[in-house]
Amino acid sequence: MSEWFCETLHSGYGQRLVIDKVLFRERTEHQDLIIFENRAFGRVMALDGIVQTTEGDEFVYHEMLTHVPILAHGRARRVLIIGGGDGGMAREALRHKSVEQVTMVELDRSVVDMCIEHLPSLSNGAFDDPRLDLQFADGAKFVEETDGRWDVIIVDSTDPIGPGEVLFRESFYKACKRCLTDGGILVTQNGVPFVQGGEVTNSFHRLSPHFADVWFYTAAVPTYQGGLMAFGWASDDASLRQLPVPVIAERFEATEIACRYYTPEAHAGAFGLPQFIRKLLVSA
| Distance between first and last Cα of the chain | 48
Strand partners, 3: 19
Distance of alpha carbon 208 from alpha carbon 229, whole angstroms: 20
Tell me, yes or no, if 213 is annotated catalytic.
no
Distance of alpha carbon 240 from alpha carbon 150, whole angstroms: 16
Phi-psi region of 182 (alpha: psi -120 to 50; beta: other; left: phi over 0): beta
DSSP conformation class of 274: -
Task: Locate the DSSP E strands across the chain.
Answer: 3-6, 16-19, 21-27, 32-38, 42-47, 50-54, 78-83, 101-106, 132-136, 150-156, 180-189, 213-220, 228-235
Distance of alpha carbon 58 from alpha carbon 114, whole angstroms: 17
- Other CB atoms closer than 10 Å to residue 207's CB: what's the count? 23
86, 108, 156, 159: which is the annotated catalytic residue? 156
Question: Are the C-beta atoms of residues 31 and 163 closer than 8 Å to each other?
Answer: yes
Q: In this structure, what is the dihedral angle of CA atoms 138, 198, 7, 26, given to the nearest 10 degrees?
A: 10
Q: How far is CA 140 from the centre of its chain?
A: 16
97 vs 21, 113, 135, CA distance in Å? Answer: 37, 26, 22
Catalytic (active-site) positions: 156
